[in-house]
Each structure stands twice: as structure tokens, then as C-alpha cells.
Amino acid sequence: MTMARTKICGPFTMRIELGKVREFLRATGASEWDLPLDSDAPIPATFLTTTRFWDAVDAKTLLDVVDLDLKRLLHGSQEYEFPAGPPRAGETLTYSTFLVSSYAKAGSRGGQMRFLVTETEFRRPSGELAAVGRGTFIETAPPAS
């Protein structure tokens, strides 16, 4: 089943701080030599996964838009596209997340698996698209009774 693009949450604003980029790199196993020192260093591609920390406390989530069973939910994939290169420390981005498609497939152990695809658009203050994050979430089939 394909659906119309549905806004899940946003817009939210995040300021990319060099200290937070360094903390992220340390948390993901970067060596001391890999840590950026420049105040306008490019961010690692996966840094944008930290957006959940910038959302409003009462922000809607995918669970609010689509009925999902958390016990059966998998994060299937995540990718980022940077039309003009990755954002840099010191930039401020505004982002919103959308549910762009939903479909089902037969599971290898029987039953139906649901796939949900989201896109998060990150924009600079000028409105220019800085990045797009795409995620696929999979709800596995319920256990056989």
C-alpha cells in the first residue's frame, strides 16, 4: 500500500555545535586523531541521526502516525544525501520528517511484514536543501498462534 506523503513532525531547528560533533565522534569510536578542531568542520554523515535530541518533547513520532508494534519493529536502513556536501559545524538547520510510503511483503516465516519509509529534509536558513535522510522501518509478522 502506497500512501500520500504525510508530515510526521517538524519543523525543528538544530544548531550544529562543534562540541556535539566531537562528542558524537567519540561515542562512535573515533580516535583522538579523527576529531575535528576547526569550528566549521564538516559533520560525519550519520551525525544527523541525533535529530531526535532536538525534537520538541511532545513531538509526534512514526508511532503516532502509523499503528506499529514496537516489539516487532526493526530499523531496516538509513541513508543520507547531501546535495552540496555535508553541513558544517556552526550551521543552523531546520528539519521536518515525512512518511513517504508504506507497503507489505510476505515474510519468509509466514505472515506479512510492513515496510515504512520516511524522509527527513534538512534546510539552511535560506531554504536551500542541505540534506535528506531516508529511513526504512520494518514491522515483522506477528508470531503464529
| Model pLDDT for residues 44-98, shown as the tens digit of each residue | 888 998 887 777 777 777 777 788 888 999 999 999 999 989 999 999 999 999 9
Return the pLDDT at 129: 97
- Categorize the per-residue pLDDT at 138 as very low, low, confident or very high, splitting at 50, 70 and 90: very high
Q: Which tops the pLDDT comparison, 129 or 34? A: 129
Q: Does residue 2 surpass a pLDDT of 70?
A: no
pLDDT in tens, 3-55: 678 888 889 999 999 888 888 888 888 876 666 667 788 888 889 988 877 77
Per the listing, cell 507489505 goes with 104
Q: What is the CATH number of the domain that holds 128?
A: 3.10.129.10
Residue 1 lies in a domain: no
Q: What is the pLDDT of residue 69?
A: 87
Q: Which range of residues forms the domain containing residue 86?
A: 6-139
102 within some domain = yes
User: Torsion over CA of 88, 78, 98 and 50, rounded to 10 degrees?
Assistant: -50
What pLDDT sits at residue 36?
Answer: 65
Whether 11 is in a domain gets the answer yes
Question: How many domains does the chain contain in total?
Answer: 1
